[in-house]
Structure 1
Amino acid sequence: MKLWGIDLGGTKIECAVLDNENNLSVIARKRLPTEADQGYEHIISQIVKLVNLVSEELGEKPAKIGFATPGVLDPETQTMKNCNTVCMNGNPMHKDLEEALGIPVKIANDANSFALAEALMGAGKNYPNAELVFGVIMGTGVGGGLVVHGKVIGGHHGIGGEWGHNILEENGDACYCGKSGCAEKVISGSGLENFYEKQTGTRLKLKEILERYEAKSDVYAEATIDRMLEYYGRGISTLINVLDPDLIVIGGGVGNIDLLYTEGYERIKKYIFNNKKVTTPIVKPLLGDSAGVFGAALL
């Protein structure tokens, strides 16, 4: 049996086909530009085009297909919401895809797809007894996905795992969600760069801020990274207090910062409801950019 998945991004659409009978080996991969500026209907047509191209390459069509999307399908309205590819919001994408492709479709948020792929094909393979895996995204934004016993938990409202829109900093920067001080505004890459700029009047990339921190050449860089570690500790402790996962995998550009796994891990102990003891494995992902499309196939 072949597992088909599509990662629907803002700039590219990628299709991958996995062989479920041969250790989930990849037997096909292909990309097309999303061309989201041409509208929702065009995105659907690009998806159909991509599926047809891969079908021609393999000499067979999919029986069903999974999608990783930049938003979620609202369980009540069956329309998309929270998509940064904004033309998708409010549209019945699940229904439209099934009609356009003529096969059953399953849709999950890209963070959930990341978590599923890492749980089953990536970092989770090193923790075979992990029943509850939380996938953290810390990049331009902050998000997450929850996988229990190998299945994505979307939740009652379809927002399972959305820890990025809980308040970390009272009276912090305004977030597009309507609140202020969300994790996404505090410990995302852009949030950290914004904080540094507010202190100095100079805009630097996070990589440059980190270099200055490591060189101990910039007190504002030191303050920015120390603040990141402190709020990271608070945020992750809340995840552990509520879910107590067996494994946390951290993806996204900010997740590459080694300090999160040393000093950041120590900061969690200040806030966890477990006598300041933490043993949760918190690791980097193993699948890189492939996690989204592999997770879509695994749906």
Structure 2
Amino acid sequence: MSIVSALGYVVVRGPLEAWRHFGPEILGLQAARSADPDTLLFKTDSRSWRLAIEAGEPAGPQSLVALGLEVRSADRLEALADTLRSRGIEVHEDPGLAERRRVRALIVFRDTTGNTIEAYWGPTVDTSGFTSPRGVTFVAGETEAGEIGIGHTFLLAEDAAGAAAFYTDHLGFRLSDTIAFGPRSAHFLHCNPRHHSIAFAALPGAPVSGLGHLMLEVTTLEAVGRALDAVQERELPIPLSIGEHSNDRMTSFYVRTPSGFDIEYGYNGRVIDDRDWTVGHYESPSNWGHRFTVVPGPATD
């Protein structure tokens, strides 16, 4: 069993006014109450929030502020902190940050590529539920397969295998599979039945660290198609056309966010049962589609 139960939330920087429209109107996220005027909060399910946007300039992959990794109890969080410290990893508790993140407690540390990790327990549940302004339902939070979190993040790393090893060795993630990206392979990791919650890859011409994309999954192909229509009507950048991935079978397209990283908007992602899962290797990231386009945007290096 993984020490981490889910990718619970993601925090990024970006232009708030642009996100104020992009989140609800394009993605179908519900705006949540925020006590900080310099932070927008968005919901995808009954949690009080899943995606936070802190005021800042578009910075592409470097827009990532923190990944929130959920554990199931205070005891497990304490055990994780002890384990990390015993292995020479610097960890600190931050009660003030826990209050702002609306969780009972959290610890902060960094992975080998410098990404900030906030491991926490006790997230706040919004009893009013979730209502999407676009009428979509996200595959997030509690599902028939269990708690699976917000979605997945695709992270950039010069040494993808080494970056993935931090999560498997210290946090209990498990390898789902690998995909050839040029001469090196991307590594896909799971901590619950979602095919992957975190992936690492070195991409030609891309920065050596940061957030490549955040995947949000919806429950119908129609919702993907309508979101794609909304993106095209507004002439927003589409880095990858609609297609189906080879490993997780997600049918999706990619849209450039106001922060400069991408959102993968998808349907029908594969789930994993560790009792009979076999790790595989794929020679191509997609079965069809997902054609690259030339996308204008902020500098990412």
Bigger radius of gyration, 1 or 2? Answer: 1
Q: Does TM, scored on the shorter chain, surpass 0.5? A: no
Query: Larger helix proportion, structure 1 or 2?
Result: 1
Query: Larger strand proportion, structure 1 or 2?
Result: 2
Q: Scaled by the length of structure 2, what TM-score is found?
A: 0.27
Q: Scaled by the length of structure 1, what TM-score is found?
A: 0.27
